[in-house]
Structure 1
């Protein structure tokens, strides 16, 4: 078969032009495809670098909050367990717990007098225990905080006893005692759980030390650590209703009756055994009722 040289040359020129065009298009396509990809990747990396610290900070904050909540829940669970265990221990003891009312400020004297009378009048077999519950709290004085001891139930003394005419008479006639607390003047035993809230020892320390009664028969219930913080601003006012946060009176409502801006003491009235009783508190022990 014979080929026309002119036709063959024309066809080869067209094919070369086509190859050149395809190569140019391929180059342009590659450039248009790769450049946006690199730019997009750089933008994504920059975006991630900007958002990563914020996300990490949020995660740390959430973890810290969760840890705080967990610690509070663990502390509450630990206290409830100790309270249950201590209540069971009280139930194993002979006698029942009663509350005797006395003049405020005479609690220790009443305890001493009652112990002596129980021995002298030979009723020790019926009167087992006489306790003045106290707590140790931080008090601001001269711009410094120090540990002070105060009555947890001012005007009251706890007595564990077998109630009969002889024992009742010894208690009732003790100097400083005004009456038993009960319905219509009758001595009414207190539930073991309620007594446990007032007498539960402080949580044992590393050396195993727990709450013990001192020479005055006072049972130390709380032992906060002393610190060197300065006086705290008292953002409360007389007549304001508050809720007690700590101690045996936790969750109990109170009304502020007096505020000492110098010492940081707050006097409040709470209802204890049907009687309005003054108690001493500090700003970190109460919160406002919304």
Structure 2
């Protein structure tokens, strides 16, 4: 399973999309997907009717905030904190505090549902994350948390690992 957790960045008003875009640009340019997995600005579609005209637009759910799913390291902290328009992390003294699983669920920031294309006992290949390239066998699947318990051969030994369902592909024999 990914060790990445959700953090909240505070930005200047109106800079949310610019901050999110700039962070993702740095991640792309420096190939840091293993540190910063996802950046988002939660929005909702609003429909307004005024003078008989209907207007539809995206409204930010939490103005001045950007959500970042990352593994907290000096490098990932520095990238986020020094992005133009970012005023700091949400937490005491701007010290990043990860959201709890319950907070993440309540905020609805994880709407991705991974499709499970394998079953317990299947041979799989890990296609992303720190174990990318390893093959193994599925021991169990935890749909609620979006993870699978697999056994991979590491250093010639069977090693249990928990990986995200989206990081696993069934090996066709």
Query: TM-score under structure 2 normalisation?
Result: 0.58
- The corresponding residue for 1:151 is 60
On the 8 A contact 1:131/1:157 being kept in 2, the answer is yes
Distance in 1 (alpha carbons) for counterparts of 2:41 and 2:48: 21
State the SS of the aligned residue for 1:194. helix
Distance in 1 (alpha carbons) for counterparts of 2:109 and 2:31: 29
- The corresponding residue for 1:123 is 32
**Aligned pairs for 1:166-245 within 5 A:** 166-199=75-108
Alignment match of 2:72 (pick from 150, 160, 163): 163
* Higher mean displacement: 140-149 or 152-161: 140-149
State the SS of the aligned residue for 1:130. strand
Would you tell me which structure has more strand in proportion to its own residues? Answer: 2
Larger Rg: 1
- The corresponding residue for 1:226 is none
Distance in 1 (alpha carbons) for counterparts of 2:76 and 2:57: 34
- The corresponding residue for 2:149 is none
Distance in 2 (alpha carbons) for counterparts of 1:168 and 1:201: 21
Q: Which runs of 5+ in 2 are unaligned?
A: 112-173
Superposed CA RMSD in Å reads 2.0
Cα pair distance change 1:200/1:100, threshold 3 Å: closer
On the 8 A contact 2:42/2:109 being kept in 1, the answer is no
State the SS of the aligned residue for 2:47. strand
Would you tell me which structure has more helix in proportion to its own residues? Answer: 1
Distance in 2 (alpha carbons) for counterparts of 1:200 and 1:97: 9
State the SS of the aligned residue for 2:45. strand
Deviation string 1:164-215 (CA, Å, 9 cap, x unpaired) is 111111111111111000112211111122223333578xxxxxxxxxxxxx
State the SS of the aligned residue for 1:116. helix
Distance in 2 (alpha carbons) for counterparts of 1:163 and 1:108: 21
On the 8 A contact 1:117/1:174 being kept in 2, the answer is no
Cα pair distance change 1:139/1:177, threshold 3 Å: same
- The corresponding residue for 1:48 is none
Distance in 2 (alpha carbons) for counterparts of 1:190 and 1:201: 12
Deviation string 1:30-78 (CA, Å, 9 cap, x unpaired) is xxxxxxxxxxxxxxxxxxxxxxxxxxxxxxxxxxxxxxxxxxxxxxxxx
Cα pair distance change 1:136/1:201, threshold 3 Å: farther
Residue 93 of structure 1, CA deviation: 4.7
Q: Which runs of 5+ in 1 are unaligned?
A: 1-91, 203-290
On the 8 A contact 1:97/1:192 being kept in 2, the answer is no
